[in-house]
Amino acid sequence: MLVIDDILLLPCRGLLGIFEKIHDMAKKEVSDERYALEKLMELQLRYEMDEISEEEYNKEETKLQAKLNALREADE
């Protein structure tokens, strides 16, 4: 009976694993300073390659700098 239970619960465990991975990624995005720095460097690269306008760059940079400052203040 245990083998049947394992087979029947396998899809649920797979979904649970996916949800845990999504949660970890979201947590990293919200609370990791390195992630914010990576996004800032990516934004700068996109601007230098003319993929985004200066206006869009400034807007996104302001958001990322505010997020980075908030993360640094939270660490203190």
Is the distance from CB of 42 to CB of 49 less than 8 angstroms?
no
Residue 2 has pLDDT above 80, yes or no: no
How high is the pLDDT of residue 9? Answer: 80
Are 64 and 43 in contact by the 8 Å Cβ rule? The answer is: yes
Amino acid present at 40? L
Please give the Cα distance from 37 to 12 (Å, whole number). Answer: 36
Q: Is the dihedral of CA 70, 66, 24, 43 positive or negative?
A: negative
- For the stretch 11-68, pLDDT in tens is 888 888 899 999 888 877 777 788 888 899 999 999 999 999 999 999 999 999 998 8
